[in-house]
Structures are given as structure tokens and as C-alpha cells.
Amino acid sequence: MLLQDQVAVITGAASARGLGFATAKMFADQGAKVVIIDLDADASQAAASQLGGDHLGLAANVANEQQVNAAIEQVLAKYGRIDVLVNNAGITQPVKLMDIKRDNYDAVLDVSLRGTLLMSQAVIPTMRRQRSGSIICISSVSAQRGGGIFGGPHYSAAKAGVLGLMKAMARELGPDNVRVNAITPGLIQTDITAGKLSDEMRQSILAGIPLNRLGDASDIAGAALFLASPLSAYSTGITLDVNGGMLIH
């Protein structure tokens, strides 16, 4: 198994059809002890229980430093180490440029960008002591192409910020043998996209995807497994596109 006895923390992973839960399930199947962190304690615990075995569900707002640190303290109290962090938590808003208000901007940037920073800061001291660790940041194709199907410009900005932060962390943490990488999903079938694509819109999107299908959550989970495992031991600071070829250039 690729992650036997590794402790993996995944944020925003309580939704059954989300990228985070698919990643949690794949990690658990590969031997990891998985910690699901989401806003609702009951939902996090229920998701963790679905994985079977010795897994943990905790509540925390990733944009709240005190809640983040408290959650990580609980992880360390139970397992004593953290090997993998997947910064998956994020929100999107279909808001046009001139309609973005401060509340919109703060909400999206706080979760995607500030949350990635705070969660990473919380686990880095442990990973440094261990002289090992993998941090995986979920960005978006929207960061690369300037907009997407559902997210507004502030979403693109937040996810682009995640890529810059990832590279800076990778550069700084490399000497500690802590790897930091990012995944940029294309259009993936999740709760966020469910019921929002008309047949006409779907066909238009597929015309621009060489693999001629929308992505599944398991596609992102597989990429995360690669980046979490020794298979990517010499990779840090990379952006792994998982978009069916829609950004070939």
C-alpha cells in the first residue's frame, strides 16, 4: 500500500460527492489514517466513519487560526504525527467582475488562500521535526485560464494565489524534506456542478476537452495519491493539471 500507516489531513472533505471525500477514501484504501476537517463536526465524523478503521472527523473553519491550531493539536494527540496535508477546502461564487463586493472577496479568499496558509503553517513544524511530509494544494484551471464555468474573477484570483503560495512554500521547505505541490482540476462532476449544466452547455464544454468527458472526483484523488506517496518523491513545486486536456497549449 502506498500510504501504509501515514497520517493524512484533508480539509473540506465531508461532502460525499466532493473531491475531498474521494481523496479521503482513496487514501484510506491505501493504508492511511485519514483526518477529515470540515465546518460541521457531525458531518466530518460521519464521513470519517464511512471510511472504516481508525479515522478521525473534526470541525474547524480553515480561515480561523485558533480553530485550525486546535484541530491539529487533536490530530497530534491521537496519532503523534502528520505525513500529508491536502488543502482542499474552498468555495466558489458565480459573480461577475463589477458585482464583486468586499464580502464576496473576503469569503472566497479567506477559505481558499488564507485557509491554505493557516493549515500549512499548522502542520509544518511537525513535518520539519519529522524531516518528511507532503502538502498538496488544490487550485483550479480557473487560475490558469482566467475564469471558469462557475467561479467569478475573485475565485480565479484566490486559486492563482494558491499556486504562488505553493511554489514559495516548496522553495522554503525543500531543505526540510517537505514537499509542496498543487493540483489544478478542470471541470469535475461534484455537488458544486450537479444540476447546473444544461445539455447544450455540457456539449459546448466537451468540445474543448480532448478526452471528451468531464472529470470525476476519483481523477483528482488519484493525482493527490501520487503527490502524497513516494511515487513523487523527487517532485516539489509542481502544478499537476487534471483537466482532460482542456488547457493544452
Write the DSSP string, 132-197.
Answer: -EEEEEE--HHHHHT--SS--HHHHHHHHHHHHHHHHHHHHHGGGTEEEEEEEE-SEESTTTTT--
Q: CA-CA distance, 114 to 87, in Å (whole number)?
A: 11
Q: Which of 79, 105, 155, 234 is catalytic?
A: 155
40 three-class SS: coil
As a whole number of Å, the CA-based R_g of the chain is: 17
Q: Which amino acid is at 241?
A: D
208 three-class SS: coil
Helices 65-79 & 115-130 angle (0-180, nearest 10):
30
105 flagged as catalytic: no
DSSP 32: P
Active site residues: 155
